[in-house]
Amino acid sequence: MPKTELSPLEERVLNRITEERWLKLAAELIRTGQPRSGNPLDPDMPGGEEEAIAMLTAGKLEALGMDVETYADVPGRPNVVATLKGSGNGPSLMMNDHLDTYPVVEPEKWNMTDGKPYEAKRHGDLLYARGTSDTRGNMASCLLAAQALIEEGVTFEGDLMYCFCVDEERDGTHGSIYLTQELGIRADYSITAEPTAWGGPVNPDAAGNLPNWGINLSVANSGHCLVDITITGEKGHIWRPDVIVNPINEAASLIPLLESMEFSHEADPFPGHTPPCVTIVRIRGGLPGEMQFSPDACVITVAVVGIVPGMTMETVLSDISHVTRSVTERSNRTSATVAQVPGSLFVDATPPVSMDEEPCVSLVRSSERLLGQTPEPNRKNAFNDTIRLREFGMNAVTFGPGEDGWAADNEWISITKSVAAAQVYALTIMDILKGTSK
């Protein structure tokens, strides 16, 4: 990578961040505690258990000389908070990541890892496994940055904090919400190591310069929520379709309207890549043992994503109800209810952190010095703990090598981007905390 204007100390730190070290660490993190760490968004399914990966990362941070504490809101799910105290003359910086992953439901589809989703396997520049992009590959970059800095004897004016949370995949109830709202844990600035890349080549040109492949800088997040639409008809025998009112048929008519609907909102000056819209995630109708009858109810579960500031659960339900009525009111024999999925959370969109404030200033400067590129600011589509940290008043942003919108099966991450991200993290930490040699 083209490294310009680097001090001898910075050169020594970056030389400790190698592909070999990242690969070894990433593979170890990926397989630890799996599949127990799988934590589905589905509120009607059991949550994850992140204790094994929490203990591993806590041990690694403690071995680096950081003061480590674990905080569990529920048994078997400890959050890890580690601090390296500075001289007291600078701000505090939190490096954040999460300990859970999304479950693997169909391991037979993971042909890039020979049907073993938690055993990382390399193909060219890409490393495949569950958790590569979301987000143990990013965690490896984050940890490797601290390891390089501490091994090189760098000291700081401000405090360096590492905060690894549980329950991120389910919107942070026992993780970032608990740590911030219940325990009051905070820092002046926070960088979440999560996917913000959007594809593109990774090979340098003849002059050694990297193409503009990302990584982007997510200075805000979109919100999301889950909604159930229950359509009620009239149960009847399959031999008499002329007299039954089948709610599945009504649902089929409603789905294209939902997918094309527009939500009430004011245009945001900083919108996300995905506008406010609906994704159908489940359809349920009919009962076991009653295949000889049409059902009397059909439930469509939708995820509303791309939520921007100003949208609320109430406005979302009102908009969906309006579209639903356009179908059900065609007959006085059908009806519908629209409600938030029980046990789920409404996640608000967050206001952006200014590019003129930290940690954006240092992240941009470090990226430009290392890669010759300025990361593009954007609003991240997906949930991550940045949202909860931002809600608690921190200047929290997201910057990471994983692809934003990773594959459900055969998840992968770019090795080149991951090593680059670790080096950018290291320079950014030194920049914000005024790192010097002992």
The C-alpha atoms of residue 1 and residue 22 are separated, in whole angstroms, by 16
CATH class of the structural domain 8-221+349-437: alpha beta
The tokens for 275 are: 């506008």
User: Are β-strands 335-340 and 78-84 bridged in parallel, bridged antiparallel, or unpaired?
Assistant: unpaired
Q: Residue 136: which of 123, 119, 111, 149 has the closest Cα? A: 119
Q: Would you state the pLDDT for residue 213? A: 60
User: Do the Cβ atoms of 386 and 170 come closer than 8 Å?
Assistant: no
Task: Name residues whose C-beta falls within 8 Å of residue 157's C-beta, 6 or more positions apart in sequence.
Answer: 86, 87, 88, 89, 90, 433, 434
Task: Name residues whose C-beta falls within 8 Å of residue 253's C-beta, 6 or more positions apart in sequence.
Answer: 327
Give DSSP secondary structure letters for 58-91.
HHHHHHTT-EEEEEESSTT-EEEEEEE---SSS-
Length of the chain: 438
Q: Would you state the pLDDT for residue 438? A: 74
Would you give the distance in Å from CA 166 to the centre of its chain? 12
The C-alpha atoms of residue 242 and residue 397 are separated, in whole angstroms, by 57
Task: Name residues whose C-beta falls within 8 Å of residue 404's C-beta, 6 or more positions apart in sequence.
Answer: 195, 196, 197, 198, 216, 218, 380, 381, 382
- List the pLDDT tens digit at each of the 438 positions of the chain: 455 689 999 999 999 999 999 999 999 999 999 999 999 999 999 999 999 999 999 999 999 999 999 999 999 999 999 999 999 999 999 999 999 999 999 999 999 999 999 999 999 999 999 999 999 999 999 999 999 999 999 999 999 999 999 999 999 999 999 999 999 999 999 999 999 986 655 565 566 555 556 689 999 999 999 999 999 999 989 988 888 889 999 999 999 999 999 999 998 888 888 899 999 999 999 999 999 999 999 999 999 999 999 999 999 999 999 999 999 988 888 999 999 999 999 999 999 999 999 999 999 999 999 988 899 899 998 899 999 999 999 999 999 998 877 788 999 999 999 999 999 999 999 999 998 987
CB atoms within 10 A of CB 113: 22
Q: Would you state the pLDDT for residue 331? A: 81
| 31-50 per-residue burial string, b: 16 or more CB within 10 A, e: under 16 | bbbbebbbbbbbeeeebbbb
User: Are β-strands 78-84 and 67-72 bridged in parallel, bridged antiparallel, or unpaired?
Assistant: antiparallel
Domain-wise residue ranges, the chain: 8-221+349-437, 223-340
Helices 137-151 and 415-433 meet at what angle, rounded to 10? 50
The tokens for 81 are: 């908070």
User: Do the Cβ atoms of 397 and 359 come closer than 8 Å?
Assistant: yes
Q: Which amino acid is at 54?
A: A
Q: Which burial class, exposed, middle or buried, applies to 312 when counting CB atoms under 10 A from its CB (0-12, 13-18, 19+)?
A: middle
User: Are β-strands 335-340 and 189-192 bridged in parallel, bridged antiparallel, or unpaired?
Assistant: unpaired
Say yes or no: domain 223-340 is CATH 3.40.50.10420: no
Q: What is the pTM of this model?
A: 0.93
Give the CA distances from residue 354 to residues 92, 115, 132, 258, in Å, rounded to whole numbers and listed in that order: 18, 44, 29, 35
The C-alpha atoms of residue 263 and residue 81 are separated, in whole angstroms, by 39
